[in-house]
Chain A
């Protein structure tokens, strides 16, 4: 499989840079979006394998709604990377069938492990389709 292609959806630019830097060596970052609209536009152009999604993002739609739209319109699954650790948010997020849920502040190794296993699942699902 070629290098996994990741869309980062994060409205905090320093954190987005950190995530991009952490992923950079191993994966291809197809874009950095700060809102659901930007994420959808970026996915339409670059067809990433996976989105790393913050939940509180810029704009009217939050990351969970953005994840739902990314899956419906572009078949892109998500790994959440968020500071939201409460049961209610996790339950809402669960309905979008994410490949993972990472809490901030994140550790690079945990991020890479989660993204690797998410991409394996993406690849397997593509083969079985």
Chain B
């Protein structure tokens, strides 16, 4: 350690009692250094924080409070401050540490304030021990990680259980002789699958809370094409690019609605081995309303068909889920059939 320099006792500011009292009463550690980096003033809080007595500090370079690994570089940092002396936080976005007398380090937050006097510019630093804050932040981070792990585990288990249900339905279908009944079990399996997929997409999502509907609907429709691909018609299924994220409670009904509408189109729109086209699109309008539409260029609905009063389980499911979403369902019968579901973006 360098020999103590004569503290800047010549500076009038230091002989001002009111100034000294204010520094002493400050609720944080305070240290003032002159242009050479020599400590000229400290308060009791700083003494307690670093474990030095006032006499051990005054007249010595401020670098004695800096951990050894940063010590060599510190005078350059100090000179940098004098080039542009204005009040600011030290080392923003960096972790700062002070070195105590016993050699241990303490995480700190430091604010630098120039004190301009006729005798030159001094730097008054307030130093706060942030050990507790850092510990609390680390605890919060650990608890967030734990929550994330737990949520992932829940989604995983839900998905596993849905796989068991799906397997049960599939196995059951192998035990029924009636083709209609087997088809119903297949429909039920697809509905379970559409819910399971929401959990899969959530599990993969960054925030584990919102589903990327573009990815979800693409995977869902691909699955449906595989599951129902052996229908009579040679149908191409197209999904328009979708940029939409929805929370779990909106994603599940949306998924089920698309599941029903696509299933319906694949099964009924193209009888007699004709080829066809089914298109799924979704988007958010300027009025923040979400539209999901399934179109086909098939034979169209019968003239007397009333969507709301349909006896089909699938279409009743669409109406029920649409009500749950507060959605309006409209049917366009031009060039095949388009069923459009419109609802407000959930908050």
Interface on A for B, CB 8 Å cutoff? 12, 14-15, 17-18, 21-22, 56, 83-87, 103-110
Contacts and interface: CB of A to CB of B under 8 A. Distances in A.
Contacts of B166: 18, 105
A85 B200 contact: yes
B227 A104 contact: no
Nearest to B227: A107
B291 interface: no
Contact of B203 (A15, A22, A86, A107): A86
Contacts of A56: 156, 160
Interface of B: 152, 156, 159-160, 162-164, 166-168, 170-171, 174, 192-193, 196, 200, 203-204, 223, 226-227, 229
Q: Which of A14, A21, A22, A110 has the largest number of chain B CB atoms within 10 A?
A: A14
DSSP majority for the B interface? Answer: helix
B164 A14 contact: yes
A83 B167 contact: no
A21 B203 contact: no
Given A83-B200, A85-B203, A104 B168 contact: no
A18 B167 contact: yes
Contacts of A83: 156, 159-160, 163, 200
A5 B37 CA distance: 79
B156 A18 contact: no
B164 A12 contact: yes
Nearest to B174: A21
A18 B162 CA distance: 13
B163 A12 contact: yes
Contacts of B204: 85-87
18 contacts: A12-B163, A12-B164, A14-B164, A14-B171, A15-B163, A17-B167, A17-B171, A18-B166, A18-B171, A22-B170, A84-B156, A86-B203, A103-B200, A104-B160, A105-B162, A105-B163, A106-B163, A108-B170
